[in-house]
């Protein structure tokens, strides 16, 4: 009987834990809302320097700020991101973002102290592009997308004492003109504390034991 209760408790804890981590704290992680083939929310500094002026295609994407490009996933001028290997139309939809050259992509995401899981999908257009991922100004990851690489899912767990701003920051000069990392499906979820999981387990055990007694 005890073995059955423990097994049931384990499944109960796993189910509750999965539910606890399922809420995405990022708004518009799929970058919906672009109405043109592509727009610069604002041009990266090295792009402006290269052209000598601000590119004419300008727009905004809800909940995001910075010097990034918002792109339809089938954009021809951006080498058709949806045509790269690993693209999942069902989850990625019609829009993505691009961190080009020294561009930035930021959401004012306020988190309480704790541990969090960040996931996103990424791919590449043109030359290799390196970018850092920061929360509250602290680097939590850094990676390079290589020339014309297909879509992959990235994940990192980080801890914070609290703060704001999730950012993707490019680390390439615009002399590498096609150096762009595509980004999509950004998600941040809270990771339950071990003590919370223990409390869930104890509560589940108690409930199962009570039900067992009541049925006797």
pLDDT tens, residue by residue, 183-202: 999 999 999 977 544 444 44
- What global pTM score does this model have? 0.80
Q: How much of the chain, in percent, has pLDDT values that exceed 70?
A: 77
Under the banding of pLDDT at 50, 70 and 90, the label for residue 24 is very high
Task: Give CA separation, 31 vs 43, 47, 90, 130, 160, in Å.
Answer: 17, 22, 15, 21, 25
Separation of alpha carbons 80 and 126, rounded Å: 12
Average of per-residue pLDDT across 26-49: 88
Average of per-residue pLDDT across 102-111: 96
- Among the residue ranges 74-78, 88-92, 112-116, 201-205, the one predicted with the least confidence is 201-205
CATH of domain 25-191: 2.60.120.260
Separation of alpha carbons 179 and 135, rounded Å: 23
- How many CB atoms sit inside 10 A of residue 190's CB? 16
- The helix-helix angle for 2-20 and 194-215 (nearest 10°) equals 140
Under the banding of pLDDT at 50, 70 and 90, the label for residue 139 is very high
Q: Where are the alpha helices (DSSP H) in 45-131?
A: 45-51, 89-92
């Amino acid at each position: 009987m005890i073995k059955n209760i423990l097994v049931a408790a384990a499944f109960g804890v796993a189910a509750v834990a999965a539910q606890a981590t399922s809420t995405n704290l990022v708004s518009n992680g799929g970058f919906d809302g672009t109405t043109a083939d592509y727009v610069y929310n604002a041009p990266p500094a090295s792009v402006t320097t290269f052209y000598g002026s601000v590119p004419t295609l300008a727009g905004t994407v809800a909940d995001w700020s910075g010097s990034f490009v918002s792109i339809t996933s089938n954009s021809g001028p951006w080498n058709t991101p949806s045509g790269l290997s690993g693209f999942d139309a069902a989850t990625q939809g019609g829009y993505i973002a691009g961190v080009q050259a020294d561009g930035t992509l930021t959401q004012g995401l306020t988190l309480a102290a704790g541990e969090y899981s960040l996931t996103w999908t990424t791919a590449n257009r043109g030359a290799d592009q390196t970018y850092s991922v920061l929360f509250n100004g602290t680097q939590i990851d850094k990676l390079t997308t290589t020339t014309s690489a297909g879509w992959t899912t990235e994940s990192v767990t980080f801890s914070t004492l609290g703060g704001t701003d999730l950012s993707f920051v490019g680390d390439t000069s615009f002399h590498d003109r096609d150096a762009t990392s595509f980004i999509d499906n950004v998600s941040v979820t809270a990771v339950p504390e071990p003590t919370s999981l223990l409390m869930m387990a104890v509560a589940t055990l108690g409930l199962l034991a009570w039900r067992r007694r009541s049925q006797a």
